[in-house]
Amino acid sequence: MKIGWITVPTPLPSGPMAVGVTDLGVCAAQYVPSAQAGAPRCADERRVAAVLGRFEEYFAGERRDLGLPLDLRLATGPHRVVLETLHRTVPYGETVTYGVLAARSGVFEEAADSPGLAARTVGQMMGANPLALLVPCHRVVAADGLGGFGGGLVGMDVKRWLLTLEGWLPPTLDWNGPL
Protein backbone atom coordinates (compact mmCIF):
# COMPACT_ATOMS: atom_id res chain seq x y z
CA MET A 1 0.00 0.00 0.00
CA LYS A 2 1.52 3.31 -1.11
CA ILE A 3 0.73 6.25 1.19
CA GLY A 4 1.16 9.91 0.31
CA TRP A 5 1.05 12.39 3.19
CA ILE A 6 -0.63 15.77 3.48
CA THR A 7 0.02 18.23 6.31
CA VAL A 8 -3.31 19.79 7.28
CA PRO A 9 -3.39 23.08 9.23
CA THR A 10 -5.78 22.98 12.20
CA PRO A 11 -6.85 25.27 15.06
CA LEU A 12 -6.35 22.32 17.44
CA PRO A 13 -4.11 22.70 20.51
CA SER A 14 -1.89 20.00 18.98
CA GLY A 15 -1.29 21.98 15.79
CA PRO A 16 -1.41 20.56 12.24
CA MET A 17 -2.40 16.99 11.42
CA ALA A 18 -0.75 14.48 9.10
CA VAL A 19 -3.21 12.79 6.75
CA GLY A 20 -2.18 9.75 4.71
CA VAL A 21 -3.99 8.94 1.47
CA THR A 22 -3.90 5.92 -0.83
CA ASP A 23 -5.59 5.17 -4.12
CA LEU A 24 -8.65 4.01 -2.08
CA GLY A 25 -8.99 7.01 0.25
CA VAL A 26 -7.73 8.35 3.56
CA CYS A 27 -5.92 5.59 5.46
CA ALA A 28 -4.35 7.55 8.30
CA ALA A 29 -4.82 10.77 10.22
CA GLN A 30 -2.51 11.72 13.07
CA TYR A 31 -2.46 14.67 15.44
CA VAL A 32 1.37 14.74 15.39
CA PRO A 33 2.54 15.36 11.81
CA SER A 34 6.21 15.38 12.79
CA ALA A 35 5.98 11.58 12.96
CA GLN A 36 5.76 11.65 9.14
CA ALA A 37 8.84 13.83 8.58
CA GLY A 38 10.58 12.63 5.45
CA ALA A 39 7.62 10.46 4.36
CA PRO A 40 6.43 10.78 0.74
CA ARG A 41 4.10 13.71 0.13
CA CYS A 42 0.84 13.22 -1.75
CA ALA A 43 1.45 14.35 -5.33
CA ASP A 44 -2.21 14.19 -6.45
CA GLU A 45 -3.29 17.84 -6.29
CA ARG A 46 -6.98 16.89 -6.56
CA ARG A 47 -6.73 14.72 -3.42
CA VAL A 48 -4.68 17.34 -1.59
CA ALA A 49 -7.28 20.01 -2.39
CA ALA A 50 -10.17 17.76 -1.31
CA VAL A 51 -8.53 16.87 2.01
CA LEU A 52 -7.49 20.45 2.81
CA GLY A 53 -10.90 21.85 1.82
CA ARG A 54 -12.93 19.35 3.82
CA PHE A 55 -10.81 19.76 6.96
CA GLU A 56 -10.96 23.56 6.68
CA GLU A 57 -14.76 23.43 6.41
CA TYR A 58 -15.03 21.03 9.38
CA PHE A 59 -12.85 23.20 11.63
CA ALA A 60 -14.80 26.31 10.58
CA GLY A 61 -18.02 24.62 11.74
CA GLU A 62 -19.36 24.46 8.16
CA ARG A 63 -19.23 20.68 7.77
CA ARG A 64 -20.38 17.90 10.10
CA ASP A 65 -18.89 15.01 8.16
CA LEU A 66 -15.59 15.14 6.35
CA GLY A 67 -17.13 13.03 3.60
CA LEU A 68 -13.82 11.63 2.42
CA PRO A 69 -13.49 7.99 1.30
CA LEU A 70 -11.79 5.85 3.95
CA ASP A 71 -9.20 3.13 3.45
CA LEU A 72 -9.40 0.98 6.59
CA ARG A 73 -6.64 -1.46 5.65
CA LEU A 74 -4.47 -0.32 8.60
CA ALA A 75 -7.06 -1.75 11.04
CA THR A 76 -7.92 -5.44 11.05
CA GLY A 77 -10.07 -7.96 12.92
CA PRO A 78 -12.02 -6.78 15.99
CA HIS A 79 -10.26 -3.40 15.93
CA ARG A 80 -11.62 -2.71 12.45
CA VAL A 81 -15.12 -3.86 13.46
CA VAL A 82 -15.13 -1.49 16.44
CA LEU A 83 -13.86 1.42 14.31
CA GLU A 84 -16.47 0.74 11.60
CA THR A 85 -19.19 0.59 14.28
CA LEU A 86 -18.05 3.92 15.72
CA HIS A 87 -17.92 5.55 12.28
CA ARG A 88 -21.35 4.24 11.31
CA THR A 89 -23.28 4.78 14.56
CA VAL A 90 -21.97 7.87 16.38
CA PRO A 91 -22.72 11.04 14.40
CA TYR A 92 -21.47 14.59 14.87
CA GLY A 93 -22.45 16.08 18.23
CA GLU A 94 -23.14 12.73 19.89
CA THR A 95 -21.01 10.54 22.11
CA VAL A 96 -20.95 6.91 23.18
CA THR A 97 -19.31 5.29 26.19
CA TYR A 98 -16.50 2.79 25.79
CA GLY A 99 -18.76 0.06 27.21
CA VAL A 100 -21.70 0.86 24.94
CA LEU A 101 -19.44 0.89 21.88
CA ALA A 102 -18.01 -2.48 22.97
CA ALA A 103 -21.51 -3.94 23.21
CA ARG A 104 -22.72 -2.27 20.01
CA SER A 105 -19.80 -3.66 18.01
CA GLY A 106 -20.68 -7.27 18.86
CA VAL A 107 -17.04 -8.37 19.06
CA PHE A 108 -17.00 -8.82 22.84
CA GLU A 109 -19.82 -11.30 23.35
CA GLU A 110 -17.47 -13.67 25.17
CA ALA A 111 -16.76 -10.88 27.67
CA ALA A 112 -20.43 -10.26 28.52
CA ASP A 113 -19.77 -11.07 32.19
CA SER A 114 -16.81 -8.64 32.18
CA PRO A 115 -18.06 -5.40 30.59
CA GLY A 116 -15.25 -3.43 32.25
CA LEU A 117 -12.66 -5.46 30.37
CA ALA A 118 -14.46 -4.90 27.06
CA ALA A 119 -14.67 -1.13 27.76
CA ARG A 120 -10.94 -0.98 28.57
CA THR A 121 -10.16 -2.91 25.38
CA VAL A 122 -12.20 -0.41 23.35
CA GLY A 123 -10.24 2.37 25.06
CA GLN A 124 -7.00 0.78 23.87
CA MET A 125 -8.46 0.41 20.38
CA MET A 126 -9.37 4.11 20.32
CA GLY A 127 -5.78 4.93 21.26
CA ALA A 128 -4.63 2.91 18.24
CA ASN A 129 -7.14 4.44 15.82
CA PRO A 130 -5.27 5.04 12.56
CA LEU A 131 -7.94 7.48 11.35
CA ALA A 132 -8.22 10.04 14.15
CA LEU A 133 -11.02 12.56 13.56
CA LEU A 134 -12.35 10.72 10.48
CA VAL A 135 -13.28 7.73 12.65
CA PRO A 136 -14.27 9.94 15.59
CA CYS A 137 -12.58 8.40 18.65
CA HIS A 138 -12.97 11.80 20.36
CA ARG A 139 -16.70 10.94 20.61
CA VAL A 140 -16.01 7.91 22.82
CA VAL A 141 -16.22 8.87 26.49
CA ALA A 142 -16.09 7.19 29.88
CA ALA A 143 -19.29 6.37 31.73
CA ASP A 144 -18.28 8.93 34.38
CA GLY A 145 -16.75 11.72 32.29
CA LEU A 146 -14.60 12.42 29.26
CA GLY A 147 -12.31 9.45 29.62
CA GLY A 148 -8.85 9.58 28.09
CA PHE A 149 -7.29 10.62 24.84
CA GLY A 150 -3.82 9.96 23.46
CA GLY A 151 -1.20 12.64 23.81
CA GLY A 152 -1.53 13.41 27.52
CA LEU A 153 -2.77 16.88 28.47
CA VAL A 154 -2.59 18.20 24.91
CA GLY A 155 -4.58 15.16 23.77
CA MET A 156 -7.29 15.90 26.32
CA ASP A 157 -7.33 19.52 25.15
CA VAL A 158 -7.85 18.25 21.59
CA LYS A 159 -10.73 16.02 22.73
CA ARG A 160 -12.37 18.93 24.59
CA TRP A 161 -11.87 21.23 21.58
CA LEU A 162 -13.49 18.78 19.18
CA LEU A 163 -16.41 18.03 21.52
CA THR A 164 -16.92 21.78 21.98
CA LEU A 165 -16.88 22.33 18.20
CA GLU A 166 -19.51 19.61 17.84
CA GLY A 167 -21.70 21.15 20.57
CA TRP A 168 -21.39 18.32 23.09
CA LEU A 169 -19.43 20.50 25.54
CA PRO A 170 -20.25 24.17 26.14
CA PRO A 171 -17.60 26.69 25.04
CA THR A 172 -15.30 28.01 27.76
CA LEU A 173 -14.06 31.59 28.01
CA ASP A 174 -10.87 30.66 26.14
CA TRP A 175 -12.71 28.92 23.26
CA ASN A 176 -11.00 29.82 19.97
CA GLY A 177 -13.29 27.95 17.58
CA PRO A 178 -16.23 29.07 15.47
CA LEU A 179 -19.41 30.22 17.14
Active site residues: 137
For 82, what's the count of Cα atoms within 13 Å in the CB-facing half-sphere? 31
CA-based max dimension of the chain: 51
In one-letter notation, the amino acid at residue 105 is S
CA distance 179 to 167: 10
CB 1 within 8 A of CB 50: no
